Amino acid sequence: MRHPHLVLLIGACPEYGCLVYEYMENGSLEDRLFRKDNTPSIPWKIRFRIAAEIATGLLFLHQTKPEPLVHRDLKPANILLDKNYVSKISDVGLSRLVPASIADGVAQYRLTAARGTFCYIDPEYQQTGMLGVKSDLYSLGVVLLQLLTSKPPVGLTVHIQEAIEKGTFAEMLDPTVPDWPVEEALSLAKLALQCCELRKRDRPNLDSVVLPELNRLRNLKLQHEANNSEIQHEANNSEKVASKPPLHISVPEIRSQENQITERSGWQRLVSITRVWKSNILPSNRGVAGKSNRKPGEANCWSFVTCTGPPQQLRRAKSFSS
């Protein structure tokens, strides 16, 4: 019998009277809930997933052909975890084949002696010996409450019911998990209490009620991760937009351009004034190629070669030439 959430039986050793199962690195769910050897606490996302996995494996046993199997001893010590915290149901030694004709949710199969563990065993089955597929639902309900609280099973259903009525349910959640989604955890607790009803007929069906709700809570993890991914994506986009250079020209750049234009205009004005000043001072009666029409030696002669004018006029010519 193989299933992803049932521990695989590898072989048996008749000489020592023992069975050999696959190795599960993280041990039992009980050890991890009570943090044996100071192991880290299990996050709520993994706890919701484990709850759905246990119900899936249990439903596989109940739908076994030709006759359903009832585990009769479902508890955290019989739920093992591999290295990825994938849960698998073990210890099916007390499982009982129930005739298919009476394996529905109402009919029961009478046994002469009840088997199971105290606090997990179905009270009605314990008192009357009447066994049915809903007998495992009581044990499942207690396990679900322990997944939420990490508390011992003794009187746990009563404590949870009172906390819900008083509005203090959040205080019952495992304090080592800081980010519980309280509304979803409350929904799971109410479902677990329905599974822990004293009468089998008052318990919900595993396939049509319990498992769909547990799958919804398991998918909450995916929605939570998707929301976190979307938030991170928006944050990254905001950082990229903030890091891009501005499309407009900043005020200092505009002022720098205005200063350059002002300086250029001032230089052009200076050149224009200089040209006018030279035209007013320098003689305008020049010939071709800039040669003067005056003869050397005449007054106000500007020749630098043979000028024989007054010394002050020669100094004046030299000053303009420089």
- pLDDT single digits (tens) 154-210: 999 999 999 999 999 999 999 999 999 999 999 999 999 999 999 999 999 999 999
Task: Give the pLDDT score at 2.
Answer: 87
> Three-state SS string across 180-233, please?
CCHHHHHHHHHHHHHHCCCCHHHCCCHHHHHHHHHHHHHHHHHHHHHHHHHHHH
Q: Give the residue numbers marked as catalytic.
A: 73
Of 45, 5, 47, whose CA–CA distance to 144 is shortest? Answer: 47
Of 12-26, 59-73, 134-148, 254-268, least confident by mean pLDDT is: 254-268
Instruction: List, in sequence order, every residue forming a beta bridge with 20; answer none if it has no partner.
Output: 11
SS3 state of residue 149: helix
Spatial distance between the Cα atoms of 216 and 211, rounded to a whole number of angstroms: 9
SS3 state of residue 28: strand
Q: Domain locations in the chain?
A: 41-69+93-223, 291-322
**41-69+93-223: CATH topology:** Transferase(Phosphotransferase); domain 1 (1.10.510)
Task: Give the pLDDT score at 262.
Answer: 60
Spatial distance between the Cα atoms of 205 and 227, rounded to a whole number of angstroms: 32
pTM (2 d.p.): 0.67
Instruction: Tell me the pLDDT band of 16, cut-offs 50, 70 and 90.
Output: confident
Task: Give the pLDDT score at 282.
Answer: 59
Question: What are the pLDDT digits (tens) for 82-102?
Answer: 999 999 999 875 565 555 544
**60 Cα distance to chain centroid:** 32
Strand 130-131 relative to strand 69-70: parallel, antiparallel, unpaired?
unpaired
Question: What are the pLDDT digits (tens) for 209-222?
Answer: 999 999 999 998 77
Of 132, 109, 280, 153, whose CA–CA distance to 203 is shortest? Answer: 132
Question: What are the pLDDT digits (tens) for 239-282?
Answer: 666 665 555 545 555 555 556 656 666 667 777 777 766 666 65
